[in-house]
Structure 1
């Protein structure tokens, strides 16, 4: 079994929260320092490149760094599907509504509209956070990596 103790739970949680907001995270694996910059979803804002230049310069000087990207839309969609499949009972009418919502245009908006006004809201946040943390761990500790 792999030892993940090199990466504190709070660090994993923090990176997961950052990528959930669309940020790109850089982790210095020697010091466990994290720096974040806006991800590609913010590309329309050219001024941010200059704003984050200091961060880019700092990260360029790190010897051992891991770059963790925000989720692609297909990954976020898969998390929604997994949530519907595993966390909602088949006999609950909201399950069918959610499947229907994500099968139409604007699936993320539709899903959010339904889930935010349901008893599953907190369950969704917890599920999504857990999945994000698993993805961060997978980035930090690929299967072939020894800690």
Structure 2
């Protein structure tokens, strides 16, 4: 059964928020991270990263993979933040409108970073991503049963 310390959850969360994918090596309790190929499709893997992927292919049961949220989950997290915290109607409307446009995350980030809610948003997002990492641990454990 996989379990992570709060420190490991924090490290994985930080990497996911940077656009990385993480692999937790169970026997050595080591976190490996590399750019998510969906975001960095022109990225050339380093020899160390290629070695890690080869090891994962050879021994997949020894690794748990952690990925960022899917776009609908990200949008829901953003909408929840608007509903729960944003009191100014104009800003709330602008944020909701941003979610309907192409490059919605960029538009949302631009608006929120220019508002008084910037720090509160970053804390909210960090907490939601920690929960997301824990959900992935639960899914990994459920799949193992």
Q: TM-score, normalised by structure 2?
A: 0.82
Which of residues 9, 13, 30 is equivalent to 2:10? 13
Distance 2:47 2:143 in 1: 35
* Alignment correspondent of 1:82: 80
Aligned partner of 2:102 in structure 1 is 105
Q: Which 4+ runs in 1 deviate beyond 6 A?
A: none
Q: Identify the match of residue 26 of structure 2 among 11, 29, 33.
A: 29
Q: Is the 8 A contact 2:12 2:133 kept in 1?
A: yes
Indicate whether 1:119 and 2:108 are aligned: no
Q: Pick closer, same or farther for the CA change 1:53–1:145 going to 2, 3 Å.
A: closer
C-alpha distance in 2 between matches for 1:15 and 1:7 = 10
Q: Extract unaligned runs of 5+ from structure 1.
A: none
Structure 1: how far apart are the matches of 2:108 and 2:41?
A: 25
| RMSD, aligned α-carbons | 2.5
How far has the Cα of 1:54 moved from its partner? 2.2
User: Counting helix residues as a fraction of each chain, which structure ranks higher?
Assistant: 2
Deviates more, 1:132-141 or 1:24-33: 24-33
1:38 to 10, 35, 38: 35
Partner Cα separation in structure 2 for residue 144 and residue 27 of structure 1: 16
TM-score, length-scaled by structure 1: 0.81
| Helix, strand or coil at the partner of 1:42 | coil
Query: 1:20 touches 1:71 (CA, 8 Å); kept in 2?
Result: no
Alignment gaps of 5+ in structure 2: none
Counterpart check, 1:140 vs 2:137: yes
Answering whether residue 92 of structure 2 is matched by residue 95 of structure 1, we say: yes
Deviation at 1:44, TM superposition (A): 2.0
Q: Aligned equivalents of 2:65 and 2:78: distance in 1?
A: 24
Q: Give the C-alpha shift of residue 74 in structure 1.
A: 2.1
